[in-house]
Chain A
């Protein structure tokens, strides 16, 4: 027991250092987020003169008012919800349709078909041929262009297949087959009810992917009414194109510029909020997804 007391000295030092290291990580990640939120609630004047450090200065909602008055942002928001919901439904259905047969040992040809799928991770035709295909199919500048080219992710298909293989006991299938249960019925009434966790995981992966993506929209969409939120954000945050109409309430140029600066902070918050609101509830699913993904299929 004497020894134990001696050790606590070095272990206590370790604990202190450990807490310092973790706090550094914590603050480094947290501070920029807090700063942006605070800036978004400050006055234009405080933002321009750089008086915001930690808490909102001269708090107000001017930035948010400007965000919500912007029509393009509203349209983009609606479009993004549309693409996310429709796209994710198709994604999940297709993923299960591919993953289940490939998880079955008695599926003749599974190795060949699996190879056909996996090969597309290793090699692809590239940007231009894909673009030409989408154009050829007449999908350019339609909502389908946001949904069909990404209708299935082979990576998600593989983790779903791994899940089926490891959680659905083969005896269960054999018992069901003896009772004359068809494959489709088995999938519907046995496999799917047991697959809640994996369906949650891939739904999240797909949904966040749809919500956050901008590049396919940039490639395939010309019509501004079809733009998803991320593309609207790009034109405001990155390209600095702010529709002058939305800040006509300000008379002089300086105030207008100031509002444009403030608006960006508010916009970042508004754009990040939908994902971050559901995030605490789904965090454990994501962690699970990473785990399943890391076990080789």
Chain B
């Protein structure tokens, strides 16, 4: 802020003097630049160099020829992707999976937070929080391992129940139609507790005098929840939802990849897994084609994020953040 206050003076100063002053200000904090060298070098090397390298999407990259030696082919790889028979299926899978996750995952953390907020028994509240937060820290590999064990057609818990009722066991992981539901609901199971933290914080930020006034007016708890708590956390909920739309194409690739098998590939192939497979895991590596697909996703992602941040900023001018 203080910068803006200073600038009017600086305008009256002549240009070389201004430059001198800038250099003097910079020299004063030289130790801060010293601190910055390593992190800055990291960002340039590990983030910006790959961005520069992404130009192989427009070339026919051959490792021995290097980036500049490889032939420039323009948008050929992109066109090839758009025209490939996998294109629509992959896009559809990516978008439906993230929309499913977004919509199904939306209400549960809110319900949990509202519910926790009205518990009188502190010990019970703490226990529920402790247990529901815990799965968040389990790794993807272990999580998918748990899913496989529980849904196993031979020894799994779910099929034990199904068999108990006299039905045939179901091979859940081998059926494409179940993939998205398993992915989304196991995600909700794992993260509902952790995702409710932010709503709990919003709830504790609600002015207590609102509740006191409502109690004096004879409002029941359910009415207070509906008319005070819910409107109180809605701004945060809406902003989170909007921001999540911005991350739509970045679904948990690691989990999808682990859950994939040839039988459910029809619904489980998403952009990121496809990029990995044709780029690095296949017999014939296609660096350029794979990079082009990844770049396409990143550009769409970038546009979405910018748009979504713009909307969120407009919306929260008068709200919490």
Q: Which residues of A are at the interface with B, using a C-beta cutoff of 8 A?
A: 3, 7, 10-11, 14-15, 18-19, 21-22, 25-26, 28-30, 32-33, 35-36, 39, 47-48, 50, 94-95, 97-98, 100-101, 104-109, 113, 116-117, 120, 122-133, 148-149, 151-152, 154, 157, 182-184, 187, 208, 211-215, 219, 230-231, 233-234, 237-238, 261, 264-265, 267-268, 271-272, 275-276, 279-280, 283, 286-287, 290-291, 294-296
Q: Kindly state whether residue B306 has any CB partner on chain A within 8 Å.
A: yes
Given contacts A25-B128, A47-B155, contact A129 B50 (CB under 8 A): yes
Q: Which residues 246-269 in B have Cβ within 8 Å of A in the complex? A: 253-254, 257-258
The CA-CA distance from A102 to B224 in the complex, in Å, is 43
Can you name 18 A-B pairs with beta carbons within 8 Å?
A18-B115, A33-B134, A48-B155, A50-B163, A101-B32, A126-B295, A130-B53, A133-B50, A154-B43, A184-B34, A230-B139, A233-B141, A238-B144, A238-B145, A267-B145, A271-B139, A275-B137, A283-B133
**A32 pairs with B146, CB closer than 8 A:** yes
The interface residues of chain B lying within 8 Å CB-to-CB of A213 are: 139
**B193 pairs with A268, CB closer than 8 A:** no
Q: Kindly state whether residue B150 has any CB partner on chain A within 8 Å.
A: yes
**A237 pairs with B144, CB closer than 8 A:** yes
The CA-CA distance from A279 to B135 in the complex, in Å, is 10
Given contacts A120-B47, A127-B276, contact A104 B142 (CB under 8 A): no
Closest 5 CB pairs of A and B: A125-B50, A237-B145, A126-B294, A212-B139, A98-B39
**B128 pairs with A26, CB closer than 8 A:** yes
**B49 pairs with A117, CB closer than 8 A:** no
Given contacts A128-B291, A271-B139, contact A265 B149 (CB under 8 A): yes
Main secondary structure of the interface of B (DSSP, over half): helix
**B280 pairs with A126, CB closer than 8 A:** no
Q: How many residues of B contact A (CB 8 A)?
A: 95
**A108 pairs with B25, CB closer than 8 A:** yes
The CA-CA distance from A127 to B57 in the complex, in Å, is 12
Q: Which of B32, B56, B150, B160 contacts A129 (CB 8 A)?
A: B56
Q: Which residue of B lies closest to A95 (CB)?
A: B39
The interface residues of chain B lying within 8 Å CB-to-CB of A208 are: 137
CB distance from A242 to the nearest CB of B (A): 13
Given contacts A36-B149, A113-B40, contact A122 B302 (CB under 8 A): yes
If A125-B52, A151-B46, A182-B31 are given as contacts, then 15 extra A-B residue pairs at C-beta distance below 8 Å, sorted by A number, are A36-B150, A47-B155, A48-B155, A98-B40, A108-B25, A125-B51, A126-B291, A127-B276, A212-B140, A237-B142, A264-B149, A265-B149, A271-B145, A272-B142, A294-B198
**B305 pairs with A122, CB closer than 8 A:** yes
CB distance from A227 to the nearest CB of B (A): 12
0 or 1 for each of B272-303: is its CB under 8 Å from A? (1 = yes): 10011001100000010011001101100110
Q: Kindly state whether residue B228 has any CB partner on chain A within 8 Å.
A: no
The CA-CA distance from A289 to B26 in the complex, in Å, is 32
Q: Kindly state whether residue B138 has any CB partner on chain A within 8 Å.
A: yes
**B305 pairs with A128, CB closer than 8 A:** no
**A238 pairs with B150, CB closer than 8 A:** no
0 or 1 for each of B51-80: is its CB under 8 Å from A? (1 = yes): 111101000000000000000000000000
**A29 pairs with B29, CB closer than 8 A:** no
Q: Which of A108, A127, A214, A286 contacts B254 (CB 8 A)?
A: A214
Given contacts A152-B39, A294-B198, contact A276 B134 (CB under 8 A): yes
The CA-CA distance from A100 to B32 in the complex, in Å, is 8
**A123 pairs with B302, CB closer than 8 A:** yes
Segment at the interface with A among B8-16, B88-96, B116-124, B175-183: B116-124
Given contacts A48-B155, A98-B40, contact A214 B46 (CB under 8 A): no
**B275 pairs with A128, CB closer than 8 A:** yes
Q: Which of B47, B201, B220 contacts A291 (CB 8 A)?
A: B201
**B298 pairs with A124, CB closer than 8 A:** yes
Q: Which residues of B are at the interface with A, using a C-beta cutoff of 8 A?
A: 1-3, 22, 25-26, 28-29, 31-36, 38-40, 42-43, 45-54, 56, 111-112, 115-116, 118-120, 124, 127-128, 130-135, 137-142, 144-146, 148-150, 154-155, 157, 160, 163, 189, 192-194, 197-198, 201, 218, 220-222, 253-254, 257-258, 272, 275-276, 279-280, 287, 290-291, 294-295, 297-298, 301-302, 305-306, 321
**A296 pairs with B321, CB closer than 8 A:** yes
**B116 pairs with A22, CB closer than 8 A:** yes
The interface residues of chain A lying within 8 Å CB-to-CB of B155 are: 47-48, 50, 261
Given contacts A149-B46, A238-B148, A276-B134, contact A183 B31 (CB under 8 A): yes
**A14 pairs with B131, CB closer than 8 A:** no
The CA-CA distance from A241 to B154 in the complex, in Å, is 17
Q: Which residue of B lies closest to A48 (CB)?
A: B155
**A98 pairs with B321, CB closer than 8 A:** no
Given contacts A108-B22, A129-B54, A214-B254, contact A14 B142 (CB under 8 A): no
**A133 pairs with B53, CB closer than 8 A:** yes
The interface residues of chain A lying within 8 Å CB-to-CB of B51 are: 123-125, 129
Interface centre among B40, B130, B275 (most CB of A within 10 A): B40
The CA-CA distance from A116 to B48 in the complex, in Å, is 9
The interface residues of chain A lying within 8 Å CB-to-CB of B198 are: 290-291, 294
